[in-house]
Amino acid sequence: MRTEDWNDATLAQAEEHLLGTALRQMEFSRIVDWVASGATCSLGSSLARELSPLSSGEDVRRALDETSEMRRLLDEEPPPMGGISDLSAPIRRAERSGVLDPEDLLAVADCLRAARLLRRYLERREGLEHLADLAEALDTDTGLEKSIRSAITEEGEVADDASPELRRIRRSLRDSSEELRRRLDRMVHGPELKNHLQEAIVTQRSGRYVLPVRQESRGRVKGIVHGQSSSGATVFIEPEMVVEMNNRLRELRDREETEIIRILSEISSMVRAESRRLRIEQEALSHLDFIYARARASQDMEAAAPTLNDRGYLRLVRARHPLLEGEVVPLDVEIGEDFHTLVVTGPNTGGKTVTLKTIGLLTLMCQSGLHIPADAESEMGLFRAVYCDIGDEQSITQNLSTFSSHMSNVIPILRCADSDTLVLLDELGAGTDPAEGAPLAVGILHHLHDLEVRTVASTHYGQLKSFVYSLDRAANASMEFDSETLSPTYRLVLGTPGRSNAFEIAARLGMHSEVLARARRAVSGEEMDAQALIRAIEEDRRAWEESRRRVETEVKDAEKLRRRAERREEYLRGVQEDVLNDTRAELRQLMSSTRDQANALLRDIHRLAVELKSGLPEGKDPGETLKKAEDLRRRTLDLRSRTEEQLRKKSREIEPEEGSKSHGADEETNRVPTDWRPGQHVRVISLDKRGSIIEVNREDEDAEVQLGVMRIRLPMSDLEPVEEPERKKDRIRLGEMSRLKGESLSEELNIRQHTVEEALPKVAKYLDDVLLAGGSKATVLHGRGTGTLREAVREYLRDHPLVASYRSGDPSEGGDGVTIISLR
C-alpha cells in the first residue's frame, strides 16, 4: 500500500504492528518471564504476564517509583509476602450462596493474615508513598480470620470446638465407637468364633463395623452380610448383636455431617458479607505482588531507576544488556540533547546490533516501570513509541528478500515516527546494490532527521559517515576495534566514525602484499584520505583517553591524601581540645581548693583572736597579740589574692580574650631576634598562644615550641618574645606538665589480664600520650593467650588515623604477645 493511501485506521494498525515488532525483536517476552518468575503467587504472576510499555508519562513515573520503593525494602528487610493466593473462585462461589470447603476457607484466612502482616510492615516503614497508598486497602480487621481459624484446623478439618453441638456429637461418636469395638474385640478373641474368622481383626464396610468370616463358616455367624473378598474366601458379616450399635453410629455421623455443613455455611455467609472488601484486598495484594516481582528482577539484574525527562533525552551510563551471558562490556551512549541522530559504524560482530538492542530493550523496560541494568546516573526520555528494524526477518513464504523485508518495516516507521518516538535501524540500506542502498539510507536518515526523530542507525556505508557531518544535531559513533589483536572491544565511541579495517586484518592474516597494494590503489584517494583521517582521530582519542585515565587516577590519589590529612588534622584538634579542657578543669579545681584552704585559715585566725581577747595569760599584752593576728590575716588574704590572680593569668594563656590580635606583617622584621634559645618564653602570633622554645633550627629558621601539652614546629617569624613569668611553687606550667608526662610515660603499655572493653580505652589514651610526648613508636603488651585481645587491639589499630603500621614483636621483643606500632 502506498503511504498516501493510509488513513487513521491504517496508521493505528501500523503502530500496533510496529509495537509488536519492537517487543519481539527486543526479546521483551524474556524480560516478562523473568519478572513473572519473581512473583510469590499467581496474582502477581498474571499481572507480570501482561507487562508492556505504558502510554502515559505519569503512569511510567508512578510504576518506577513503586519499583524503587519495593527495591529499597528488599535491600533493607524483605516484606512478608507469604500466604497470598487467588481467591477469585471461592469469593464467586460464596457470592452465589455456595458452601466453601475447609481448604478454601483456610486460603481466605491465610490471605487475610498476609494482608494484615503486610500492612503493619508497610506502616512501620518511612519514606513510602505509593506502597503506603496500597497498604491502606489492606484491612487489619481479624474477625473473619479468627472465625475461620477457630472452626478449621491447619489440616483442613472442621474442629471439634467449631460449635458446642459438634463437640457433643463427636464425643458421643467416640464413646459409641469405642464401646462397639470393645464388644467386637471380645467376640473376635472369644472361643465361639475363633475357628470361623479368616483373621482376628475388626474392619469396616460401608461405614459399619464387620468381622471377616470364612466362606465355609458363613452359616455359623448370625448377622448381615456386607460383601465378600475378591477371591470369595472371606465374607464380611455385621454380627446381629451389634446392628443397633452400628445404627447408632450411622445416625451420629449423619448428625455430624449436618452440623459441619451448617458451620461451613455460616462461615461462607461471612465470606459473602465481606466479599467486596476481599476483592479490594485481592486487587491490592495482586499489585503489591506485581511490584515485588519487579523489584526482585531489579535486584537480580543489579539494576537502578533512571532519571526521567520529557525532552526525549536518553543517556545510558554503564548499561548492560540483561539477557547476555558471561562478561558484558558496559555501554555509554546518549542522544537527544546535542544531537538527535546517531550513526554507528564499525566492523561486523563488533557490537552494533547489541548496542541498538540494549538501547531499545532498556527503553521498553523503563517505560514498563522496570529498573534498567545501568548506573543510577542514567537518564531516560519518555517516548510515545519505540520503532525498530533489527535483524533479518525475511519471510520465505512471502518470498521477501532481505532488502524487501527491511523496507516492509522501515516504510511504516517513516509514516508513524515523530519527535516523540525513538527509532532504531540496524544495517540501514543493506541487502541491495551499495550504489543504490547508500543513497536510499541517506534519504531515510534525512527524513527522520528533519522530523527530529530520536534515531540510532547502524551502517557499513562510508557515505553516511560524511553525510552526518553535513547535518546539525547529528553525530557519528563507532564500535572500537583493536587493530593489534584484530578483535573488537565492544565499546561504543561517540564522535568518531568507524572504519572497516579490512586491509589491516587481511595483512595480519598473511595476505600477499602485492594484492593489498593493488586493492589500496583501487580505492579512491578521497576514501584513503578519509580512512587515514579516521585512523589519526582514533589514535588521538586513545591517547586522550589514556591521559584522562592517568589524570583521574592522580586526582583520586590526591583526594585520598587530602581526606587522610583532614582526618589527621581533625583528630589532632580533638586531642588538643581534650587536653585544654582537662587543663582548665585542673585550674578551676586548684583555685577552688586554694580558696577553701584560705577561708579555713581565716576562720582559724579569727577564732584564735577571739580566744586571745577573752582570756590571755598573765603578763601578755592583748594588743600585741591582736596585732600579730591581724597581720597574719592580711598576709593570708594577700596570698589568696595573688594565687587567684596567677590562676586567672594562666586561664588567659590557654583561653585568650576575645578581640586579641597579632601584630601586622610590617612589624615582622623588628620581631625576629637572632638569639632564640631553648627555654625562652614566646607568644605564637598566628595562634595568640604563649609557650616556650624546646629546640631551635637556625638553618631552616624555625623552632619547636611547647604550647601547653602540644609540641609544634613553627617559623621563627611567627614568634615574639615575652617576659618570663615569675616562678612560684603554686603556679601550674603546662609545658612542665607535658615534659613530666613524657618523662613518666612508660615504654610499653601492659594490658594483659584486661578484657577487650577495658583494654581498648587504655590503648587509645596511650597512643595520645605517646603523640603528645613527641614519640613515634608505641608498644602494647597483650600476651598470647587465646588471641582474642590481640585481634581486638589490631582491629582497632587498623582504622586509627594516627597509626602508620603495626607488627608483631621480634622474638627478642616478645613475639606475638606484643604489637609494635609506628605512628604517622
Shortest CA distance to 249 belongs to which of 218, 275, 210? 210
- Summarised one tens digit per residue, pLDDT across range 693-732 is 888 888 778 888 876 545 667 788 878 888 765 443 333 4
CB atoms under 10 Å from CB of 485, counted, come to 9
190-199, 318-327, 508-517, 529-538 — which is least confidently predicted?
529-538
* Residue keyed to cell 455456595: 98
Listed residue (56, 11, 48, 55) closest to 28, CA to CA: 48
Which residues, other chains included, contact 724 with Cβ-Cβ below 8 Å and sequence gap of 6+?
681
Q: What is the pLDDT of residues 147-165, one digit of tens each?
A: 999 999 999 999 999 999 9
- pLDDT in the model for residue 718: 77
Residue 536 has pLDDT above 80, yes or no: no
pLDDT the model gives residue 377: 94
Higher pLDDT, residue 471 or 175: 175
Cα–Cα distance list, 327 to 321, 493, 517, 572, 659 (Å): 11, 19, 39, 47, 65
CB 211 within 8 A of CB 221: yes
Q: Kindly state the DSSP code that residue 294 receives in the 8-state scheme.
A: H
Residue in the block written with cell 461471612: 270
Reported as type and span, the H/E element at residue 147 is helix 143-151
Give the end-to-end CA distance of the chain in Å, rounded to a whole number. Answer: 81
- pLDDT value of position 555: 80
pLDDT at 684: 78
Strand 341-345 and strand 454-458: the pairing is parallel
Mean pLDDT of the chain: 80
Most confident of 50-59, 191-200, 507-516: 50-59
More confident: 598 or 689: 689
Torsion of CA 291, 294, 295, 301, to 10 degrees: 180
Q: What angle do CA 662, 665, 669 make, to 5 degrees?
A: 110
Nearest one of 676, 661, 660 to 717, comparing CA atoms? 676
With a CB cutoff of 8 Å and minimum separation 6, the contacts of 532 are none
Rounded Cα distance, 705 and 678, in Å: 9
Which SS3 state, helix, strand or coil, does residue 73 take? helix
How far apart are the C-alpha atoms of 529 and 522, rounded to whole Å?
13
Three cell numbers written together for 247: 445404627
pLDDT of residue 264 exceeding 80: yes
pLDDT of residue 380: 96
With vertex at residue 378, the alpha carbon angle to CA 467 and CA 475, rounded to the nearest 5 degrees, is 5
Q: What DSSP letter does each residue of 635-658 carry, written as one string?
A: HHHHHHHHHHHHHHHHHHHHSPPT
Measured CA to CA, the distance from residue 316 to residue 665 in angstroms comes to: 56
Average pLDDT of the segment spanning 353-379 = 95
Give the model confidence (pLDDT) of 20-42 as tens digits: 999 999 999 999 999 999 999 99
Measured at the CA of 792, the angle between CA 787 and CA 797, to 5 degrees, comes to 125
> pLDDT by residue (tens digit) across 474-497?
888 887 766 566 566 778 888 766
For the ranges 140-144, 685-689, 711-715, which has the lowest average pLDDT?
685-689
Highest mean pLDDT among 291-305, 408-422, 448-462, 752-766: 291-305
Q: Can you give the length of the chain in residues? A: 824
Query: In sequence order, what are the beta bridge partners of 214?
Result: 234
Confidence band (pLDDT; 50, 70, 90) for 661? very low
Residue 729: CB atoms within 10 A of its CB come to: 4
* Position 200 confidence tier, pLDDT thresholds 50, 70, 90: confident
Say how far apart CA 31 and CA 21 lie, in whole Å. Answer: 15
Is pLDDT above 80 for 134? yes
Amino acid at 706: Q
Q: Let me know: does 197 contact 233? Beta carbons within 8 Å.
A: no
pLDDT one-digit tens code per residue, 215-259: 888 888 888 988 888 888 899 988 988 899 999 999 999 999 999
Query: Which pLDDT does position 268 carry in this prediction?
Result: 96
Indicate the range of 42-46, 452-456, 666-670, 796-800 predicted with least confidence: 666-670
Contact 688, 718 (CB under 8 A): no
**Contact status, residue 353 vs residue 458, Cβ threshold 8 Å:** yes
Q: For residue 1, name the pLDDT band (cuts at 50, 70, 90).
A: very low
Q: Tell me, what's the pLDDT at 381?
A: 94
- What string of DSSP letters covers 672-702? --S---TT-EEEETTTTEEEEEEEEETTTTE
Q: What is the mean pLDDT of residues 622-642?
A: 60
Which SS3 state, helix, strand or coil, does residue 786 take?
coil
